[in-house]
Chain A
Amino acid sequence: MDDPKDIQRGEDDARDILIINAFTSAIRERGVDESLKTDLASFYRAHGVDGETLELMLERGPRRLRMYRQMVQGRLRRVLRELLPRTVARLGKKRLYADFADFFDNAGSHTVILREVPAEFTSFCRERWAEAEAVPDFLSDLASHELLSLEVRNSLGGREPATGLPLALDRPLRFDGTCRLRRYDYAVHSLPLDVDDRSEPEAIPSALLAYRDREYAVRFIALTQRATEVLERLLAGSTVVSALQEGAIAAGETLGDEFLAGMTHLFADLSERGVLLGALPDTSMIEADEAVSRADG
């Protein structure tokens, strides 16, 4: 037989859960602000709040409930304005409010890290931006570019030691841990930083290598197509020879002297910048040495 105390506790928990759910729905649900103001009782009843709890919440009225809604949503929109300034400025206030309201209601944030909310918001919005005539086609790329800057500035890693090994065709390479390669359909990296600027980027496929330098500044290198194809493969862990061979094919070029000279120049530039840190050691040799040591031991 159930203990009456347990039953009472369960009922108390359920009552707390109902009011918490109603409260957070009032903050989060799209389009309920007007009904909070004009028909608070219906809002609470729709969320299962009734009886004495309902009477108490009606006595307290909608003013501070709506204040919480404005406070929470306003704070998150401010974070978007701060961390995606040019994207948000081009969206405009009306569109930002609508997109944010849908994001907050349908997806919401699932990170405790405030600086990650813009990436969550952008991820939610990309499809709808692509379908919306009023949103410029390049906006998704611009958001990606602003997020790239944020990601590289705060990324773990960076300042890894050079391997001390010269580049070798049969070895993969070590890059600084903050390196990121991104491709865009528009040259959004060329847009002015001014948030009031409304110029449009050229619709040309672009690729950037971003990294954090030794003074913590985020740097971007605009890449040619051949450099993009080769670096993308090297960053994924390919050996130099594979990256060159496959990169040349992907770029529609011949792996000839001119191609190799271009890549030599690129590797030298990246080494000078502290981005390319040498060849990775041959792990098969290390594993073989370790096996010998174990056998000796």
Chain B
Amino acid sequence: MDSHPTGIGLGLRSAIIAEIDAGEADGALAFVEVSPENYLWRGGLALDQLARIRERFPLLGHGLTMNLGGLAPFDERFFAELKGFLDRNPTPWYSDHLCLCNNGAEFHDLLPVPFTRSTAKRVAARIREASDRLERPMLVENVSYYLALGEIEMDEPEFIAEILEQADCGLLLDVNNAFVNAQNHGFDPYAWLERIPLGRVRQLHVAGHESWDEQTLIDTHGADVRDEVYEMMAWVVERTGPLPVLLERDNHIPPLADLLAEVRKLDEVYQRALRRWHEGAGEAPQEARHG
């Protein structure tokens, strides 16, 4: 993890890839994040666009389907293809989610896992195995979960910390997921953040969310980032220093110009947080804590 970008990046999506390929985001992004599943076993335009884009932006690789929380052995064919992709498109690390994606069939979604010691142990072993197979460091991302499964032996921060420790890996901290979970499960997101081992945070995700119903927020990546999520991102950066921060947008994707305006806004908040980090040598001013 010696060399990696810091600052604000965007996820490469089909809705904006042509414009990014055409140079319309040049100079505006610190990096682009790529989900290999969109490119595996694929040829044609998207792959050629990616080949050109990787010449102009640092890439970070972020997976959606590794099934780190799953019960079945990893898929050999998938890992071989993924490793080939990452060798051709080098990234300083590879990240995927602390979740279940497959249980007898693919769900194409990020499903929760029980917050138990046995699950933490199993997931940590799978992260180590994934890292060995891919021959690069792994980061894992905290997910939005809408229903806890079974007995909660450990709360989520303890569960995450246990996995990071056992797997000796980094954390891709999604502050929007933490915010959504805090709203849906009724806890203080800053109390949650204070228990996360920030020393292991290597990357941040921020995104917008929507309401499923009156009682539930849902992490759709389909809206602008809310101020509360900006503030949580700043709270983390004040304590960690420079990080790559990804603006995620997967639904209701606006024109690239609007996304870049949101990137600039995010960057302003990020730069202010970095200044506080410099001033405080890593110690955040108290008034910043709750924005």
Contact = CB atoms under 8 A, between A and B. Distances in A.
A113 B104 contact: no
A20 B146 contact: no
A260 interface: no
Interface in A15-34: 15-17, 19-21, 23-24, 27-28
Given A60-B147, A112-B37, A12 B106 contact: no
B100 A20 contact: yes
Listed residue (A16, A68, A112) with the most chain B CB atoms within 10 angstroms of its CB: A112
Interface in A139-170: 153-158
B43 A20 contact: no
Contact of A154 (B43, B122, B215): B43
Interface in A66-112: 67-68, 71-72, 75-76, 79, 104, 107-112
B116 A16 contact: yes
Interface stretch (B24-32, B107-115, B167-175, B264-272): B107-115
Interface string B126-149: 000000000000000000001111
Given A20-B100, A24-B107, A156 B41 contact: yes
A19 B115 CA distance: 12
A266 interface: no
Interface stretch (A49-57, A192-200, A249-257, A285-293): A49-57
Contacts of B48: 216
Interface residues of B, number: 44
Contact of B43 (A13, A52, A157): A157
Interface in A177-194: 177-178
Contact of B149 (A23, A27, A158): A23
B146 A114 contact: no
A23 B111 contact: yes
A68 B147 contact: yes
A248 to B, nearest CB: 34
Interface residues of A, number: 49
B154 interface: no
A288 to B, nearest CB: 34
Contacts of B218: 71
Interface string B35-66: 00100111111101000000000000000110
A112 B103 contact: no
A222 B104 CA distance: 41
B118 interface: yes
B43 A155 contact: yes
Contacts of B78: 112
Contacts of A37: none
B44 A16 contact: no
A9 interface: yes
Given A75-B109, A155-B44, A20 B103 contact: yes
Contacts of B118: 9, 12-13, 15-16
A165 B101 CA distance: 49
A53 B150 contact: yes
A27 to B, nearest CB: 7
A82 B46 CA distance: 18
B155 interface: no
B104 A154 contact: no
Contacts of B106: 108-112
Nearest to A19: B150
A56 B43 contact: no
Given A20-B100, A20-B103, A216 B147 contact: no
Interface in A251-285: none
Contacts of B151: 15, 52-53, 56
A64 interface: yes
Given A15-B150, A52-B151, A20 B37 contact: no
Nearest to A152: B44
B183 interface: no
B42 A57 contact: no
Contacts of B111: 23-24, 27, 68, 72
B104 A24 contact: yes
Interface in B72-119: 75, 78, 100-109, 111-114, 116-119
A17 B147 contact: no
A60 B148 CA distance: 8
A295 B71 CA distance: 54
Interface of B: 37, 40-46, 48, 64-65, 71, 75, 78, 100-109, 111-114, 116-119, 122, 146-151, 212-213, 215-216, 218
Given A76-B108, A112-B106, A154-B44, 13 more contacts: A12-B117, A15-B116, A16-B119, A21-B103, A23-B149, A49-B150, A53-B151, A57-B150, A108-B106, A110-B106, A112-B78, A154-B46, A155-B43
8 contacts: A15-B116, A16-B119, A16-B150, A24-B100, A65-B147, A112-B102, A112-B106, A155-B43
